[in-house]
Chains A and B, each alone.
Chain A
Amino acid sequence: MLILARKNGDEIIIDSKIIVKVISASDGSVKIGITAPEEIEILRGEIYSKVKESTLRASEESRLRPLDISKLKFNKFKE
């Protein structure tokens, strides 16, 4: 892993097209601004991991047959 020390306002440029800018850093939290082409997907690491884990589990559990669902209702989302 490449590790770079950067100050507030400094940028890192990846492959001439992705700009990562340190907006501010304080109290153990860093605010980062990213400029990238539209086709580049930017995700928070922990959300990506959670989704990936869920997809893997859905694949494993897909052979399970639920007991009777005919009497149940959809859990409609309410705002």
Chain B
Amino acid sequence: MQIKTFQFGTVNFSEENILRFKAGLFGFEELKDFLLIKPDDDNIFYWLYSIEKPNIGFPLIGLNVIYENYPSDEKTTAFGIVTMNKDPLKITVNSKAPVYINQDDKTGFQKIVEDEKYVVHYNLFIE
């Protein structure tokens, strides 16, 4: 199977690469199947592409890069959706509504965490 992405061109994948999001993402509840792409070791961003609508893709970053003990269990990794900007100091990450991904059973879900230290737009970089 393959999808055409704006970031990586044509990407080939197989059934076992598909991540199932039973409830979709907030704002994209209708999208259930995604691919997680890590371009290379130097790149800090992961990309989450919709298989159903490959024109929709998000940069993600592991929230443990920012927070020391971001809530998650041993089976899931917590990612934040990144809002890109030409000015890197204006790039933000959403730590309020993490995307949890379980690579073992190939599932994912997004949830909202109540704790006030987590915010929808957290500046990712400082000088």
In A24-79, the 8 Å CB interface with B consists of: 41, 43, 47-48, 50-59, 61-69, 71-77, 79
Instruction: Say yes or no for B96: interface residue by CB 8 A criterion.
Output: yes
Q: Given that A72-B125, A74-B125 are contacting pairs, would A64 and B27 also be in contact in the complex, using a CB cutoff of 8 Å?
A: no
Bound together, the chains give a CA A12 to CA B56 distance in angstroms of: 40
Residues of chain B within 8 A (CB-CB) of A50 are: 96, 120
The answer to whether B87 and A47 touch across the interface, beta carbons within 8 angstroms, is: no
The answer to whether B117 and A55 touch across the interface, beta carbons within 8 angstroms, is: no
Residues of chain A within 8 A (CB-CB) of B97 are: 51, 54-55
Main secondary structure of the interface of B (DSSP, over half): loop
Number of B interface residues, CB 8 Å? 40
Q: For B94, give its contact among A54, A59, A62 (CB under 8 Å).
A: A54
Residues of chain B within 8 A (CB-CB) of A54 are: 81, 83, 94, 97, 120-121
Instruction: Say yes or no for B89: interface residue by CB 8 A criterion.
Output: yes
8 A–B pairs (Cβ distance < 8 Å), ordered by A: A51-B26, A55-B25, A58-B82, A61-B85, A66-B88, A67-B88, A75-B66, A75-B125
Q: Which residues of B contact A (CB under 8 A)?
A: 6-7, 23, 25-28, 44, 56-59, 65-68, 81-89, 91, 94, 96-97, 111-112, 117, 120-127
A-B contact sample (20 more), CB < 8 A, given A51-B26, A55-B81, A75-B126: A48-B26, A54-B97, A54-B121, A55-B27, A55-B58, A58-B58, A58-B84, A62-B57, A63-B6, A65-B84, A66-B86, A66-B87, A66-B91, A67-B88, A74-B66, A74-B125, A74-B126, A75-B122, A75-B125, A77-B67
